[in-house]
Amino acid sequence: MRRFVLFIALLTTSTVSAQQAGLTPDFATSQYAGSIGFISGGVGYDVLKRHQLSLHYGHVPEKLGGPLHIVAAKLMFNISSLRISDQVMISPFNAGVMVSYHFGSQFKSRWPSHRYPDGYYWWKTSLRAHLATETSITFNFREQRIRSVTGFVSFNTNELYLISFLKNTRSLSLADIIKVGYGVRVRF
């Protein structure tokens, strides 16, 4: 709980500092599941006009397998968009990458050298690199404080799952390695 309070204080301080430096986020986002915790929240920025960089904090409560605290950064590339009307746009396929870091004593950045030879396990338990896709629908508002609201479904897998799948296609299916998340983005 102390880490959560510390994170909120850091986020608040960072947001105030960012606003003072002219780095106000372009949107806020909230997501259920999808490798960033049971529930996550964050802020994001438009980069190169059509792409988005977002920073997230996620949490899994103890009664659901935690407590877990996760921070993540996502970079999504807008591949295709279809304008349905002046107010509605669908993005059927966006692709991206994500990096997530799990906090806690059970997660390690190194395997104990006294137990395993160097390189025996190549992955870190605390850090994951993900490939991601997203499908979204955006509702734009004219002359409002909130410019748009986007609902999205994201799919991702991480490097450990993907390599395990490629080495064990008889034992694992794509359903075993693909994680799904649902979320909302509110653009200011």
Quick: pLDDT tens for 116-141: 777 777 788 899 999 999 999 999 99
Is residue 7 in some structural domain?
Answer: no
Cα 52 to Cα 112: distance, rounded to the nearest angstrom: 37
pLDDT score, position 46 = 94
Is residue 33 in some structural domain?
Answer: yes
Is residue 23 in some structural domain?
Answer: no
**Secondary structure tally for the chain: helices H, strands E:** 3, 8
User: How many domains in the chain?
Assistant: 1
> Strand locations in 84-126, DSSP E?
88-103
- Is pTM beyond 0.75? Reply is yes
Is residue 146 in some structural domain?
Answer: yes
Confidence band of 90 (pLDDT split at 50, 70, 90): very high
Its domain, for residue 40, covers 28-187
Cα 27 to Cα 11: distance, rounded to the nearest angstrom: 14
Cα 37 to Cα 29: distance, rounded to the nearest angstrom: 14
> Over the stretch 34-81, which tens digit does the pLDDT of each residue have?
999 999 999 999 998 789 999 999 999 999 988 999 999 999 999 999
Is residue 58 in some structural domain?
Answer: yes
Is residue 173 in some structural domain?
Answer: yes
CATH code of the domain containing 115? 2.40.160
